[in-house]
Structure 1
Amino acid sequence: MMWTELFSSRRMSRTSVQGIVLLHGRGKTARSVLPLAQELGLEERLVFTPEAREGSWYPYSTLAPRTMNEPELSESLEQVHEVVEEALKTIPAEQLVISGFAQGACLALEYALCHPRPYAAVLAFHGVVMKRRYPKPHPDTLFHFCSSENDPLIPAWKVRESHEILSLLGARSTLSLYAGMHDAIPVEELIHIRHSLGLD
């Protein structure tokens, strides 16, 4: 198991976000997702970035039948669990963000929904949920979906459906969809997230 951990001794309030678990997309590496921590204003917090074996958390599309992605999916969820448990040795769940991009976002959602805790936030960039039924999410956790209206791999209708599923479960869920956004996150979206997390 691999992850990168960065730390600054800068003092932060007890209510501020103090760490993030970031999951990269298919074909990427742990290092490739580190700039997102900086864009979110978290470069001086604890940053945990596990790396998928051979660059993929599971072999097929998130929209494929779950059985097609086993056992790799379960193994990846266990890897994320180990990283989150490591993070929780240092900071409480209330100050931890779980996030990911594309395939990593789907994995982040699946982990957080199957392990409900009062996370500061779960940020899914180009990600969707994998099923319709989950344990009731913790009411203090903010789930945020950010994606494109015309993503060729993650259709907008599926992102909307994921947001609706979480809302029906009673989760605090928000949604941002942008035109023309494929593999980038608009600056205004990053500003909005930083403000929502008290990082501006």
Structure 2
Amino acid sequence: MTEIPLEHVHVAPDNESGTAPAVFVLHGRGADEEDLLPVARHLPDGLHVVSLRAPDPLQGGYTWYELDLSAGGLEASQPDAADFRRSLDLVAESVDAAVESYDLDSDRLGLLGFSQGAITSLSLVLEDPDRYAWIVALHGYLADAHADLEPDGIEDKPVFVGAGAGDRVIPESRSAAAADRFDEIGAAVTRGSYPGGHGIGQQELSDVVAFVESQIAKHE
């Protein structure tokens, strides 16, 4: 088995036989690889779940990067450039290793991220759009470092962007701006706005599940 750089939880399909699609799950700041498993359990049967742990300890959990607050506080924060680059590379390397280790279908890989995990996921798909069949980014934003990218292969890429109307950690406007940018460069964007704060409520979960089901069905 190929060594996977990031600590993780792997949940295989109950009826695994041969290569199968997968979703890579990226948690938020201060959480860990177990945090989003209750969400992932609602996703379609037959899907591998590989939930990755961020590399750096933080407050009993882990973080993908430290925050750059030079633009004016949490609501205007950006990823620290060096930390962000390291995490992007570690996730990409972990995806490649997991494909080999767990016999994943390399043409049917999805990303599902929350908060910092969503920010990381949005940048990953812009750096290598052909690697991922679809992406779910919940309560995140598009990092300035990647805001001007317009890569080949992003056209018609299915991207779900969810936001909380009452989110005080990452305001809905930042998530909406990310969705707008993906619209501009030709991705197939699905938007969801929900009345809660910085968390995943039942309606958002239902919409995410429906979106993922539709993506899996395209390739069956």
TM category (shorter chain) comes to 0.7 to 0.9
More strand by share: 2
Q: Is the 8 A contact 2:22 2:105 kept in 1?
A: no
Task: Please state whether the residue corresponding to 1:164 is helix, strand or coil.
Answer: helix
Indicate whether 1:79 and 2:90 are aligned: yes
Question: What residue in structure 2 maps to residue 114 of structure 1?
Answer: 127
Q: Measured at CA, do residues 57 and 119 of structure 1 come closer, stay the same or move farther in structure 2, by a change above 3 Å?
A: same
Count of aligned positions: 194
- Confirm or deny: 8 A CA contact 1:118 1:139 kept in the other structure: no
Task: Report if aligned partners of 1:118, 1:140 keep a CA contact under 8 Å in 2.
Answer: no
CA shift, 1:146, in A, is 0.9
Q: In structure 1, what is the Cα distance between the partners aligned to 2:18 and 2:93?
A: 26
Q: Summarize deviations over 1:133-186 as a string: whole Å, max 9, x none.
A: 113243352111011112001111111111110111111111110112431232
Q: SS of the counterpart of 1:4? A: strand
Indicate yes or no: 2:66 matched with 1:59: yes
Q: Tell me if structure 1 keeps the 8 A contact 2:154–2:185.
A: no
Aligned-partner Cα distance in 2 for 1:194–1:116: 17
Aligned to 2:49: 47
Which of 158, 180, 197 does residue 215 from structure 2 map onto? 197
Aligned: 1:8 with 2:20: no
* Percentage of pairs with the same residue: 23
Matches within 5 A, 1:141-152: 141-152=157-168
Give the Å deviation of 1:115: 1.3
In 2 relative to 1, CA 191–126 (structure 1 residues): closer, same or farther, beyond 3 Å?
same
In the alignment, structure 1 segments of 5+ residues that lack a partner are none
CA distance in structure 2 between the aligned counterparts of 1:18 and 1:62, rounded to whole angstroms? 35
Residues 1:62 and 1:110: Cα distance change in structure 2 (over 3 Å): farther
Q: TM-score, normalised by structure 2?
A: 0.78
Q: SS at 2:129's partner residue? A: coil
Task: Report the aligned-residue RMSD.
Answer: 2.4
Using the size of structure 1 for normalisation, the TM-score is: 0.85
8 Å CA contact 1:118–1:138 kept in 2: the answer is no
Q: Structure 2 unaligned runs (5+)?
A: 1-5, 68-73
Further displaced range: 152-161 or 137-146: 137-146
